């Protein structure tokens, strides 16, 4: 059997099970690689250090007597170790990373160049502010852009992720209710069913009771249900817009009006800001607090879970409670407001040591300045166009969760189309890995059965989208044709085969131990 790919070259699906395993664990040009502790580099060193001039006696009894027990690798060995490991994983520099809700866009190299300028990368947070005026100017200019793009009067830069930004926003809201003497009475936070898990988790962490708000059949907040739950016991609502179904909340003005009428604050989860940046200002929608994931909308790297940045823009009502520090600018230059006896008297405190993730501020600002305001508007337009292209090209072979009308920046499918095939969303995702594609977000949002949430972002060209669509269509056709084996055991080609996900989540092995029979002591 042979199919045609989009550029007209025939491709022959090859069956894996019949191939012999390789002798070394290598596959194609990919090397097998063990953990750095499992090599035989013990006892040698990759650097040539002179003998210390003293015996270290000023360390008293704390001088180490045993070998330090680190693997010794030369520079090329070290380089190869990490390059080989990197090849076991997916990267945005390799191909589309279609994780819905995550906005995995290209990280421009210009950002990296700017962040590495010594004036930004070689400074210390405790340096006198007179010696870091340029860095403070970057923070101040970034703040200006974030406030301008969102139409909000204040921003707290220091939160280190979206979830940390949610914490910041809800702590500011709690501080505002405390200041007006309403904290004891307002103990609830309303969260729609489709919300990202961090929303209810944050509200609970801050001590609120989470109350769910129903969703309409077309994937939006049920305004009547929201209205019935709003009252004098509600501190805030947390609404994502565009929401996690990839849809714009059409009733957003009514939602914020009802919320304010009840004396509550409107926390907007801004993780999906990429779909509306430059087009809609959340301040105009009545938002009181919103986090912005710089690693989503503004192209800073997602990293391995950090270091990230999730600045929070705040309305005039919440601005006085913003956490320290922040940058101010006067005739004497830039300085940080940090202490409660200064202008930060009402700040609810601090969210982290020092001022947050300087490297991310520099990257985000260089992204913004290189696009300009017109370029950022085009980002939103192209992101939405790309998602709708995917939705349109896959809707005849897969089932769109909300087929009516266009989507925003992500296309959402359910598993209705897999009914009767014995193939699940998880099986389908694993088979995508064999085809060289990172899976989309699965089983989220929870309100859609077997959800497959695809977010291409604006940085994918039509050619790359077509490659992805071709693979998805080919897999969808194989699933419909009953080629169950291709899916059930997948991935066949990846370094790691199908994992026991429950065990991985419930009893993760977090500590390296020396292999049986080895004489290497685990440090």
Ligand X SMILES: *Cc1c(COP(=O)(O)O)cnc(C)c1O
The reply on whether position 308 binds ligand X by CB under 6 A is: yes
- Minimum distance between the CB of residue 113 and ligand X, rounded to whole angstroms? 24
Q: Which residue in 104, 115, 139, 161 binds ligand X (CB under 6 A)? A: 161
CA distance 265 to 236: 4
Number of residues counted as binding ligand X (CB under 6 A):
13
Which region among 84-92, 157-165, 172-180, 465-473 touches ligand X (by CB under 6 A)?
157-165
Instruction: Pick out residues in 163-192 that bind ligand X (CB under 6 A).
Output: 163
Strands (E), 18-159: 154-156
**249 vs 18, 47, 101, 245, CA distance in Å?**
50, 59, 16, 10
197 CB-contact burial (10 Å; exposed 0-12 / middle 13-18 / buried 19+): exposed
The reply on whether position 310 binds ligand X by CB under 6 A is: yes
The reply on whether position 194 binds ligand X by CB under 6 A is: no
Q: Which residue in 271, 277, 384, 408 binds ligand X (CB under 6 A)? A: 271
Which region among 75-83, 113-121, 159-167, 311-319 touches ligand X (by CB under 6 A)?
159-167
**Residue number closest to ligand X, CB atom:** 162
Which region among 13-21, 161-169, 385-393, 428-436 touches ligand X (by CB under 6 A)?
161-169
Phi-psi category of residue 270: left, alpha or beta, with phi > 0 → left and psi -120 to 50 → alpha: alpha
The reply on whether position 357 binds ligand X by CB under 6 A is: no
Which region among 88-96, 144-152, 158-166, 419-427 touches ligand X (by CB under 6 A)?
158-166
- Minimum distance between the CB of residue 297 and ligand X, rounded to whole angstroms? 11
CA distance 20 to 23: 9
The reply on whether position 157 binds ligand X by CB under 6 A is: no
Which residue, 271 or 344, is less far from ligand X as judged by CB? 271
- For residue 122, give both structure tokens: 């070689």
Which residue, 271 or 394, is less far from ligand X as judged by CB? 271
CA pseudo-torsion sign 300, 305, 306, 312: positive
- Minimum distance between the CB of residue 409 and ligand X, rounded to whole angstroms? 11
- Minimum distance between the CB of residue 277 and ligand X, rounded to whole angstroms? 15
- Minimum distance between the CB of residue 170 and ligand X, rounded to whole angstroms? 13
- Minimum distance between the CB of residue 357 and ligand X, rounded to whole angstroms? 12
DSSP 391-453: HHHHTTTSEESS-SS--SS-EEEESGGGTTTT--HHHHHHHHHHTT----EES-STTSTT-EE
- Minimum distance between the CB of residue 172 and ligand X, rounded to whole angstroms? 17
SS3 string of 331-392? Answer: CCEEEEECCCCCCCCCCCCECCCCCCCHHHHHHHHHHHHHHHHHHHHHHHHHHHHHHHHHHH
CA distance 285 to 288: 9
The reply on whether position 293 binds ligand X by CB under 6 A is: yes
Backbone phi, psi, residue 79, to 5°: -55, -50
The reply on whether position 101 binds ligand X by CB under 6 A is: yes
- Minimum distance between the CB of residue 196 and ligand X, rounded to whole angstroms? 3
Q: Give me the helix-helix angle, 198-205 and 162-179, nearest 10°.
A: 40
Token match 């005026």: residue? Answer: 133
Judged by the rule CB under 6 A, the positions of this chain that interact with ligand X are 101, 161-163, 196, 198, 240, 244, 269, 271, 293, 308, 310
């Amino acid at each position: 059997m042979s199919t045609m790919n989009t550029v007209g070259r025939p491709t022959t699906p090859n069956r894996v099970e019949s191939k012999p395993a390789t002798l070394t664990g290598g596959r194609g040009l990919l090397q097998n690689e063990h953990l750095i502790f499992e090599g035989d580099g013990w006892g040698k060193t990759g650097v040539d250090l002179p003998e210390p001039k003293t015996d270290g006696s000023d360390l008293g009894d704390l001088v180490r007597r045993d070998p330090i027990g680190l693997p010794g690798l030369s520079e090329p060995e070290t380089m190869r170790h990490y390059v080989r490991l990197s090849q076991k994983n997916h990267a945005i520099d390799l191909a589309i990373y279609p994780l819905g809700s995550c906005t995995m866009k290209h990280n421009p190299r210009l950002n990296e160049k700017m962040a590495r300028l010594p004036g930004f990368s070689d400074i210390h947070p405790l340096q006198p502010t007179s010696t870091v005026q340029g860095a403070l100017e970057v923070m101040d200019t970034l703040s200006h852009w974030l406030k301008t793009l969102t139409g909000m009067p204040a921003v707290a830069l220091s939160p280190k992720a979206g979830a940390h930004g949610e914490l910041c926003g809800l702590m500011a809201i709690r501080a505002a209710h405390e200041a007006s003497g309403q904290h004891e009475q307002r103990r609830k936070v309303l969260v729609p069913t489709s919300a990202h898990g961090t929303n209810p988790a944050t509200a609970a962490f801050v001590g609120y009771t989470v109350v769910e708000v129903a969703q309409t059949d077309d994937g939006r907040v049920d305004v009547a249900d929201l209205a019935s739950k709003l009252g004098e016991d509600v501190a805030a609502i947390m609404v994502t817009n565009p929401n996690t179904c990839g849809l714009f909340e059409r009733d957003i003005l009514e939602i914020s009006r009802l919320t304010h009428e009840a004396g509550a604050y409107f926390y907007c989860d801004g993780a999906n800001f990429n779909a509306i940046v430059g087009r809609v200002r959340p301040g105009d929608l009545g938002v009181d607090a919103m986090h912005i994931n710089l690693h989503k909308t503004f192209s800073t790297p997602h990293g391995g879970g950090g270091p990230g940045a999730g600045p929070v823009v705040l309305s005039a009502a919440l601005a006085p409670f913003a956490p320290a520090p922040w940058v101010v600018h006067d005739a004497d230059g830039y300085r940080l407001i940090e202490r409660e006896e200064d202008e930060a008297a009402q700040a609810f405190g601090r969210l982290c040591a020092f001022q947050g993730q300087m490297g991310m501020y520099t990257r985000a600002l260089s992204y913004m300045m290189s696009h300009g305001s017109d370029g950022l508007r085009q980002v939103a337009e192209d992101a939405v166009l790309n998602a709708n292209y995917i939705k349109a090209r896959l809707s005849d072979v897969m089932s769109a969760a909300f087929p009516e009308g266009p989507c925003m920046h992500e296309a959402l499918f359910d598993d209705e189309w897999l009914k009767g095939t014995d193939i699940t969303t998880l099986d389908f995702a694993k088979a995508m890995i064999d085809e060289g594609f990172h899976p989309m977000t699965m089983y989220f949002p929870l309100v859609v059965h077997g959800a497959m949430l695809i977010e291409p972002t604006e940085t994918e060209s039509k050619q790359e989208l077509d490659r992805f669509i071709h693979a998805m269509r080919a897999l969808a056709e194989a699933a419909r044709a009953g080629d169950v084996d291709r899916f059930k055991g997948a991935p066949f080609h990846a370094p790691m085969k199908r994992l026991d996900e429950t065990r991985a989540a419930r009893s993760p092995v977090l500590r390296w131990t020396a292999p049986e029979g080895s004489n290497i002591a685990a440090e």
